[in-house]
Structure 1
Amino acid sequence: MRKLALSDEILLKIEKPARYIGNEVNSVNKDVSKVDVRFAMCFPDVYEIGMSHLGIQILYDMFNRREDVWCERVYSPWLDLDKVMREEKIPLFALESQDPVKDFDFLGITIQYEMCYTNILQILELSQIPIHAKDRTWEHPVVIGGGPCTYNPEPLAEFFDIFYIGEGETVYDELLDLYKASRARGDSREEFLVKAANIEGLYVPMFYEAKYHEDGTLKSFGSVREGIPSIIKKQVVMDMTKAVYPEAPIVPFIKATQDRVVLEIQRGCIRGCRFCQAGMLYRPTRERDVDTLKEYAKVMLKNTGHEEISLSSLSSSDYSQLKELVDFLIEEFKGEGVNISLPSLRIDAFSLDVMSQVQDIRRSSLTFAPEAGSQRLRDVINKGLTEEIILDGAGQAFEGGWSKVKLYFMLGLPTETEEDMKQIARLADKIARRYYEIPKEERHGKCQITASSSFFVPKPFTPFQWASMCTSEEYIHRAYVVKHEFQEQLNRKSLKYNWHEADVTVLEGVFARGDRKVGKVIEEAYRLGCLYDSWTESFHNEPWMEAFDNMGVDIEFYTTRKRELDELLPWDFIDIGVSKQFLKKEWERAESGTVTPNCRMQCSGCGAAQFGGGVCYEGKN
């Protein structure tokens, strides 16, 4: 019988003990004596968040298809268990075997969000693994990071042995085979890492050095060891239909953030919004074959017992076979109580027709993401939405039976003026007005327009990577400008406005474009008690400010400082396919308010065609 790492006494004292016991439906258990490599796959947040992450489910399935590998899962313990584990000196453990993570060959950490960085140090410390890569020996797992934040890995460089740059389905098998061969040969850890650094897409930070000008900007960055590549090339899966996909995903014991079957219909996005990192990182756009998706849907619902299926992509409306897929799902599961979820839809007649078939209109709300209130600023960010399209879409939605709309905006975008800010409230009011233009007897309940503002964070590998950020005080000022304008609107009783935390946004901005000097701040903040910084109830800004002071690091160097186009950026050694020249051109087009057509309308020569597939390859239109 499997022995739990936590005693019954501890499990009874902590919140949601089901987070830590494993043994869920479709989880994989193997005989440890019959595998050569043990891989702990970690999401540095609570179980409910981590269990909703598709990337880990894909890699978990892919690794466990190998007879010589056993991949298990580990998540950040919540604050209550964290305290107990430190007091009782209980090492962090994997869910499947309940064995200590420190006994594994690999610890793979997916890094989805900058505000999880202190949780990564929590994972290492609770696992009793040295926090700094230079202090590890073969007695410790190889710590490898993946996910979108690794496209600027430098703030975390000291804490990881390897970063995997790109999509995980490509070279992991090569790395695992190399590891087995290295251990069999008796290679040192350093010899293994040298060989790993020569696998395309793998970045081993200890073999690279940053040098700085007196003003703190990067002077040079490169490998310090002969035979180590100077450029790391992003890994891309071109044939999405043949790519591995979990047909029996793990079913959590407790409700996860996304408690449903997820069908990834495509990767990439044709739209080219200039603020959007994912839209650049995941180019080119690649679709999964619709017949394959139909089979996955049937098999996955059968294997999980879930009652909802979600079609996942950055822009679902752009999937060329969406109508056929949705029609099939509606017909196939008619009368079985299966809900169909369609996030990331553009609001047009087709999308509204699809949503009206799969949603309970009376209870659901529509989501628009205009991002900016004025047409001028939407052109700057290349949103590709006119006010006419937005209002027509809202009008059609209201006529179709919806009465609730959520609007998402950003404040602090490049070139933003006070007039642009006020237009957020005015656009919301115009949408409400559209509702009240419908005859009273044809309306469906009370109109509710909820607008939310996040604050703009410039991200690497976007045309806005050179842009300045605002201070937290300036972000709050802008939010109050918008709030005041909402109070001036004719339909203010139908309007609601809220905004995100400015202090968190500033930190996110530092980590997004930070260099290696930022790592010591993260470590210091962790020592001062910062943990679960993405959770409002546990975020505290004061110790972060103390950490920056203690380490002598200037926040505004990373946030408000203007960057010149010829400045060497900390992530310039990574090749994502999209060229820096293209990003510069898009930055210049943004400054002039010039719109760039989407990839299906016209190829803009971003560079992603080098991968030999996807929309840009088919089109070159």
Structure 2
Amino acid sequence: MRFAMCFPDVYEIGMSHLGIQILYDLLNAREDVYCERVYSPWMDLDEVMRKKQILLFALESQDPIKDFDFLGITIQYEMCYTNILQVLDLSGIPMLAADRGEDDPIVIGGGPCAYNPEPLADFFDIFYIGEGETVYDALMDAYKANKAAGGSREQFLEMAAAIPGLYVPAFYDVAYNEDGTIASFGPNRSCAPAVIDKQVVTDLSSVRYPEKPLVPFIKVTQDRVVLEIQRGCIRGCRFCQAGMVYRPNRERELDYLKEHADKMLNATGHDEISLSSLSSSDYSELEALTDYLIQTCENRKVNISLPSLRIDAFSLDVMSKVQDVRKSSLTFAPEAGSQRMRDVINKGLTEEVILKGAADAFAGGWNRVKLYFMLGLPTETEEDIAGIADLANKVAKTFYEIPKGERPGNGRVDVVASTSFFVPKPFTPFQWVRQCTDEEFVAKQKFLSAKMKEQINHKSMRYNWHEFELTKLEGIFARGDRRLGKVLMAAYRNGCIFDSWSEFFNYEGWMKAFEDCHVDYTFYVHRERPLDEILPWDFINAGVTKEFLKREYQRAREGVVTPNCRQGCSGCGCRVYEGGVCYEA
């Protein structure tokens, strides 16, 4: 069986993705599967391939993708959707699943955006909901058995639909109310379940992990060994989809991580290793693991990267051991400027903790700090926005309160405050809220920019922001339904690809696509949804229950903080995975 694993962006980005490396290793471990890779051709190569009628081919063998049995596409970000159409188009595979014949590959989608697959339903044969180590073997076995029996493409899809975690869009029908909301959604075949259950690895230390990861030929964005230390997150931030859908929190055993770190460094020759997780500080064996890596990596001249750390005394101590303080900057993610707003989003950070972390960082030798915030959060006021500028100023003030002769660096601090715009995502407590309009986003951005300039320490502060147009499109497709498929097709025909690359973002092409398809995009973004509305992703069981999300939404509106998983179980629903007991508990 031939399997083409695709990341719908350029090689430099796709080769940095851990999920592809895991699945590539997993599938190639089977004697009956040959898995290869394919990426989106950059604009100049795209033009040449179309002009010379060269079909998109796999990286390893250069065989055309259309000759493979499977094309698996990881869907990491809404703004790569048109790149998926580019891959299908250049491969000579019919873009619409309904148009594919017996000789066309089975097109599978997975990754975080598969938790609302509906905007892409027209283009995929199967969506894989959950973690890849669980049912890919069952899928390959079913394909092999169907081929041996002389079965058809449709018979195989019926077999796939019966495998837990696999969603075949063609086997489901949607009906709409006059106001555009969903009236009903359900299977049209007996083989298709009414609810698709997310698949979860129960023991991360018992599954395969790449021991010889692929080494790129050129420099890529994450050119290092990546060691995944845990999955899930205990924190419960209400805006964070990953923190909800990747529950429950599961750790890899220390000995497992030590062994794999050694094997991967030996096999690759990389000069950096990164510890991957949503919240590395919450890994219970972090101190023992970093001590081991420091000892091991010092002899090898290998750097250690520790992303996703909370800024506390322990984390700073670890970072000071593994980073060149003079060259590195520290990143804080308060997400909101006021304490009221941080309570609304359940961030679990107080201003006191943030400023204490900054003070400890400056005492440890850092003089560059990055602060990440969001604009447009639910219930946000001008006072909350002004709090961003005030907090950035207080961080700078903390530095200048150090006696002059004791200040690190050149005696000056560099505080960079960056804002992105809030996008409501499926399976979060904010999945029902409206997203700000273009005008509201621009007004908030201008207001904050003015407030930053008013601060006493404004000369030590910089403000960076994201563009609102991309945020709007991300919001549309994050919570969209099947009716957006025709918009995606029209946008692709208008030349919209590589939308997450600013030099190619074609906003006018997108707006024309909505207009030509007679689709009102405001329905998907600027509308508060009632709690009893049927949502396009309601047929997926992602572990967290809708009742829990509703409770958290109400607590957000009341500004009530929910304790993290280690402080006490909040009854999110993920405990169903292990005999009624949450792993964390």
Q: What's the TM-score bracket when you normalise by the shorter of the two chains?
A: over 0.9
Q: CA RMSD in A?
A: 0.9
Cα deviations by residue, 1:205-259 (Å, 9 ceiling, x for unpaired) = 0010110000000000001122321100000001001111001000001111100
| In structure 1, C-alpha distance between the alignment counterparts of 2:75 and 2:581, rounded to whole Å | 27
When structure 1 is superposed on structure 2, of 53-62 and 467-476 the one drifting more is: 467-476
What are the equivalent positions in structure 2 for 1:3-42 lying under 5 Å apart? Answer: 37-42=1-6
For residue 151 of structure 2, the aligned residue among 173, 176, 187 is 187
| In structure 2, C-alpha distance between the alignment counterparts of 1:613 and 1:231, rounded to whole Å | 20
| In structure 2, C-alpha distance between the alignment counterparts of 1:121 and 1:573, rounded to whole Å | 25
For residue 365 of structure 2, the aligned residue among 401, 404, 411 is 401
Q: 1:348 Cα deviation (Å)?
A: 0.5
Q: Which amino acid aligns with 2:561?
A: V
Q: 1:453 Cα deviation (Å)?
A: 0.3
| In structure 1, C-alpha distance between the alignment counterparts of 2:543 and 2:202, rounded to whole Å | 13
| In structure 1, C-alpha distance between the alignment counterparts of 2:448 and 2:146, rounded to whole Å | 59
**8 A Cα contact 1:391 1:430, kept in partner:** yes
When structure 1 is superposed on structure 2, of 437-446 and 53-62 the one drifting more is: 437-446
For residue 71 of structure 2, the aligned residue among 107, 119, 125 is 107
Q: 1:138 Cα deviation (Å)?
A: 1.6
Q: 1:336 Cα deviation (Å)?
A: 2.5
1:552 aligns with 2:510: no
**8 A Cα contact 1:599 1:615, kept in partner:** no
Q: 1:614 Cα deviation (Å)?
A: 11
Q: Which amino acid aligns with 2:10?
A: V
Q: Which amino acid aligns with 2:189?
A: R
When structure 1 is superposed on structure 2, of 331-340 and 76-85 the one drifting more is: 331-340
Q: Which amino acid aligns with 2:515?
A: D
Query: Structure 1's 613 and 41: CA in aligned 2 closer, same or farther, altered over 3 A?
Result: farther
Q: 1:140 Cα deviation (Å)?
A: 0.5
Cα deviations by residue, 1:565-614 (Å, 9 ceiling, x for unpaired) = 00000000000111000000000000000000000000001010111189
| In structure 2, C-alpha distance between the alignment counterparts of 1:253 and 1:289, rounded to whole Å | 32
For residue 496 of structure 1, the aligned residue among 428, 451, 462 is 462
Please name the residue that 2:437 is paired with.
471
How many residues were matched structurally? 583
Q: 1:473 Cα deviation (Å)?
A: 2.2
Q: 1:333 Cα deviation (Å)?
A: 2.1
Please name the residue that 1:578 is paired with.
544
Please name the residue that 1:616 is paired with.
582
**8 A Cα contact 2:297 2:304, kept in partner:** no
| In structure 2, C-alpha distance between the alignment counterparts of 1:472 and 1:611, rounded to whole Å | 41
**8 A Cα contact 2:548 2:572, kept in partner:** yes
| In structure 2, C-alpha distance between the alignment counterparts of 1:485 and 1:309, rounded to whole Å | 40
Give TM-score, length-normalised by structure 2: 0.99
For residue 46 of structure 1, the aligned residue among 10, 15, 30 is 10
| In structure 2, C-alpha distance between the alignment counterparts of 1:324 and 1:188, rounded to whole Å | 53
What are the equivalent positions in structure 2 for 1:519-534 lying under 5 Å apart? Answer: 519-534=485-500
Q: Which amino acid aligns with 2:33?
A: V
1:140 aligns with 2:101: no
Structure 1, unmatched stretches of 5+, are: 1-36
Please name the residue that 1:513 is paired with.
479
Structure 2, unmatched stretches of 5+, are: none
| In structure 2, C-alpha distance between the alignment counterparts of 1:94 and 1:127, rounded to whole Å | 10
Q: 1:617 Cα deviation (Å)?
A: 3.0
1:341 aligns with 2:305: yes
Q: Secondary structure at the match of 2:420?
A: strand
| In structure 2, C-alpha distance between the alignment counterparts of 1:47 and 1:388, rounded to whole Å | 43
Please name the residue that 1:241 is paired with.
205
Please name the residue that 2:273 is paired with.
309
Give TM-score, length-normalised by structure 1: 0.93
What are the equivalent positions in structure 2 for 1:104-503 lying under 5 Å apart? Answer: 104-444=68-408, 445=410, 446-503=412-469
| In structure 1, C-alpha distance between the alignment counterparts of 2:294 and 2:520, rounded to whole Å | 55
| In structure 1, C-alpha distance between the alignment counterparts of 2:115 and 2:376, rounded to whole Å | 23
Q: Which amino acid aligns with 1:473?
A: E
Q: Which amino acid aligns with 1:180?
A: K
| In structure 2, C-alpha distance between the alignment counterparts of 1:612 and 1:359, rounded to whole Å | 39
Q: Which amino acid aligns with 2:475?
A: G
| In structure 2, C-alpha distance between the alignment counterparts of 1:577 and 1:486, rounded to whole Å | 41
| In structure 2, C-alpha distance between the alignment counterparts of 1:613 and 1:236, rounded to whole Å | 14
**8 A Cα contact 2:250 2:583, kept in partner:** no
Q: Secondary structure at the match of 1:536?
A: coil
| In structure 1, C-alpha distance between the alignment counterparts of 2:69 and 2:580, rounded to whole Å | 36
Q: Secondary structure at the match of 2:121?
A: helix
| In structure 1, C-alpha distance between the alignment counterparts of 2:570 and 2:342, rounded to whole Å | 19
Q: Secondary structure at the match of 2:206?
A: coil
Q: Secondary structure at the match of 2:122?
A: helix
**8 A Cα contact 2:250 2:584, kept in partner:** no
Q: Which amino acid aligns with 2:436?
A: C
Q: 1:618 Cα deviation (Å)?
A: 4.3
Please name the residue that 2:556 is paired with.
590
